[in-house]
Amino acid sequence: MDPTQPEAPVLLTGMGGVLGAGLARGGAVEQWPGVVVAGREAPEAWRAAPFVCCDLSQPGAARRLVDALQPRAVLHAAAVSRIDACERQPELAHRMHVQVVEEFLAACPGRVIFLSTDQVFDGQAKELAEDAEPAPIHAYGRSKAEGERACLAGGGVVVRLPLLLGPAVPGRPARMGADAVLVEAARKAQPWDLFEDEWRAPADAADLCAPLGKLLERLAAADPAMRPPEPIYHLAGADAIDRYHLGQAACAAAGVEFVHRRARLAAWQGDPRPPRLILRCELAIRDLGFEPPDLRQSLARSAAAASQGRRGQET
């Protein structure tokens, strides 16, 4: 592969969810030149970008994709993102989070960005720097942590993301950010138990467009001096907030009556939940010009985008 060829694209996977829709809302379709989106279905939010149908769950699919497209760089976001799904299908989680990363790096050495998660940590630390040691407590976190190790061993770059905010995904209304889920439940007068002792630093997916675009640009550059200086970056919001107060703030931003109930993690009987995941973003601030977004502003933008989407469906 010759990454200096100007026609070589930048390959994106996993653009069909909240992250991909948010990146498109943030301007990635227009601002990221030469991208090709790959997946099982073409994401509606990325319909202006070239699309290649590919089922990455099949062994060898990532290698064949790189052989066909000869990309300058790869942003791998495709994932099994539900914790319970990873528990039920550990082989699929391993395939998507580890084997696909290894295949991409074997075919595109050193030019892969693996999007990981704050869920690789156990939630015991007050804050988490980029060099914090992963300590996952569930199947999703374990497979993502293993994917991180594979990415770093192959010379790729790991980007850990937080809880994501954003309205319903175009064409896939059941997929929505953490704020929109709570707003829609409140809109339907369906109260949920929200933990007042589970803390996150959420970010609107749209606010990740600029730093991820800059990282892709640097990784795809022919000049080795442009390569990102660090192997791991964090992109998260500026504000730490618990789930209960996130629900309150999200409903207030959307103008919806708050109906949810206050709860504590001690009462939770499901899969393990890290109590506190606050990613520090110093390296992204220094190297990528990232400005961690203000939570209230993010919620307001997400609510406005959701309102615009509902109006579009009504017309």
Percent of the chain with pLDDT over 90: 90
Render pLDDT for 178-196 as a digit per residue (tens, 0 to 9). 999 999 999 999 999 999 9
Is pLDDT above 80 for 6?
Answer: no
- Whole-number average pLDDT of the chain: 94
- Distance, in Å, from the CA atom of 191 to the CA atom of 265, rounded to the nearest integer, reads 17
| Cα(5)–Cα(115) distance, integer angstroms | 25
Mean pLDDT over 99-119 rounds to 97
The per-residue pLDDT for 168 is 95
Token digits of residue 101: 């990363």
Q: Would you state the pLDDT for residue 5?
A: 44
Q: Is residue 4's pLDDT more than 60?
A: no
pLDDT band at 315 (very low <50, low <70, confident <90, very high): low
Query: Concatenated DSSP letters for 167-226?
Result: -PBTTBTT---HHHHHHHHHHTT---EEETT-EE--EEGGGGHHHHHHHHHHHH-SSGGG
Percent of the chain with pLDDT over 70: 96
Is 253's pLDDT higher than 90? yes
Q: Which 3 state secondary structure label does DSSP give 133?
A: coil
- In the block, tokens 């959420």 appear at 202
DSSP 94: H
Query: Domain boundaries in the chain?
Result: 10-241+266-307
- Is 303's pLDDT higher than 80? yes
Residue 309 has a pLDDT of 76
Q: Ramachandran region of residue 155, left (φ > 0), alpha (ψ -120 to 50) or beta? A: left
pLDDT at 1: 38
CB atoms within 10 A of CB 124: 11
Strand, helix or coil for residue 120: helix
Taking the alpha carbons at both ends of the chain, their separation in whole angstroms is 48
- Evaluate if residue 313 carries a pLDDT over 70: no
Alpha helices in the chain (DSSP H): 18-25, 28-31, 61-69, 83-88, 90-94, 100-107, 139-153, 178-187, 209-220, 243-254, 282-288, 295-314
Return the structure tokens found at 140: 């999703």
Q: Does the model's pTM come out above 0.75?
A: yes
Tokens, residue 283:
């390296």
Cα–chain-centroid distance for residue 32? 17
The answer to whether residue 3 scores a pLDDT higher than 50 is no
Higher pLDDT, 264 or 311: 264
Q: What is the mean pLDDT of residues 147-175?
A: 96
What was the pLDDT predicted at 271? 87
Average pLDDT of 252-260?
98
Confidence class for position 314, pLDDT limits 50, 70, 90 = low
Rounded-to-integer distance, Cα 137 and Cα 219, Å: 31
Class of 10-241+266-307 per CATH?
alpha beta
Which residues fall within 8 angstroms of residue 206, CB to CB, at 6 or more apart?
Answer: 22, 23, 25, 26, 166, 301, 305
Q: Which two tokens stand for residue 199?
A: 């803390």
Residue 115 β-bridge partners? 159
User: Is residue 96 scored above 50 in pLDDT?
Assistant: yes
Q: 160 pLDDT exceeds 90? A: yes
Neighbouring CB atoms inside 10 A of 126's CB total: 8
pLDDT of residue 105: 97
DSSP of 148-165: HHHHHHTT-EEEEE-SEE
